[in-house]
Amino acid sequence: MLKMEKLQKVYRTEMVETYALRDFNLTVNEGEFVAVTGPSGSGKTTFLTIAGLLEAFSGGSYRLDGIDVSRMGDGERSAVRNRKIGFIFQAFNLIPDLNVLDNIEVPLRYRGYGSAERRKRAADALARVGLSARGRHYPAELSGGQQQRVAIARALAGEPRLLLADEPTGNLDSAMARSVMELLEELHRDGATIVMVTHDPQLAARAQRNVHVIDGQVVDLAAELTA
Ligand SMILES: Nc1ncnc2c1ncn2[C@@H]1O[C@H](COP(=O)(O)OP(=O)(O)O)[C@@H](O)[C@H]1O
Ligand SMILES: [Mg+2]
């Protein structure tokens, strides 16, 4: 589904060049659940934002469903992103002055659904994360775990085939983290491809495959250990 070869990402300021990704190689197949681990600053978030077509890259190639991303125009990129990809961030990124259902509807607007369809999808997604009773609440009235469930509902309301999660449990206590993980596992069983960045080795161990990133590169831990 996702194939990156020798991907480069350079951040340039007047003073310095930072290679956030250098020769980053990764293939994720349809239906996989991949956990990405690595030290802070190693390029994990950069990788996810490029994978999710939120940011451009500086070199190398990235194919999503066989399509060369560097050949997509801006319009096509956002259309593909809206249609195929859902995001879950560590900081939840809910809009504080919208209630829960309205928050979930935001990406559905970009997808062009009419208001009746949006309302139905938002309510269904909220039910999936077990928060039907909270639709009229505002984010500040919910616990961190509940806010992350709302953020997951927002990501899954559009039924994305690819779910990108950046430390989705980073701000949660371990019981909440486990229940968020269970939700992701359920979405995976239903067919979503999931790429999750995490610092939590117990959660990473539950994914089908672990990818370790150091200094902007994917490293093969097994090969390193036997070398
Ligand atoms: N917008 C930016 N401008 C300049 N440098 C950046 C920017 N975003 C990330 N970086 C740098 O790129 C590297 C990788 O960052 P990041 O992908 O956020 O790592 P991680 O998510 O693994 O902690 C870091 O050195 C970081 O400082
Ligand atoms: Mg990060």
Strand ranges across the sheet with 2-12: 17-28, 2-12, 59-64, 67-68
Instruction: Tell me the C-alpha distance between 147 and 48, whole Å.
Output: 21
CA of 95 to the centre of ligand 1 (A): 24
Domain ranges of the chain: 2-226
Instruction: Tell me the C-alpha distance between 70 and 19, whole Å.
Output: 19
63 forms beta bridges with: 3, 68
pLDDT score for 110: 82
pLDDT score for 222: 65
Strand 162-166 relative to strand 193-197: parallel, antiparallel, unpaired? parallel
In order along its 227 residues, the chain shows pLDDT tens digits of 999 999 999 999 888 999 999 999 999 999 999 999 999 999 999 999 999 999 999 999 999 999 999 999 999 999 999 889 999 988 778 999 999 999 999 989 888 889 999 999 999 999 988 899 999 999 999 998 899 899 999 988 888 999 999 998 888 888 888 888 998 998 999 999 999 999 999 999 999 999 999 999 999 776 666 65
pLDDT score for 225: 61
Give the tens place of pLDDT for each residue, 167-214.
988 888 888 888 889 989 989 999 999 999 999 999 999 999 999 999
Residues 6+ away with beta carbon under 8 Å from 24: 4, 6, 7, 8, 9, 43, 47, 60, 213, 216, 217, 218
Given ligand 1 and candidates 9, 46, 214, 218, which is best to mutate, with the most ligand atoms within 8 Å of its CB? Answer: 46
Instruction: Tell me the C-alpha distance between 141 and 22, whole Å.
Output: 42
Supply the pTM of this predicted model.
Answer: 0.90
CATH code 3.40.50.1100 for 2-226: no
Given ligand 1 and candidates 11, 12, 17, 214, which is best to mutate, with the most ligand atoms within 8 Å of its CB? Answer: 11
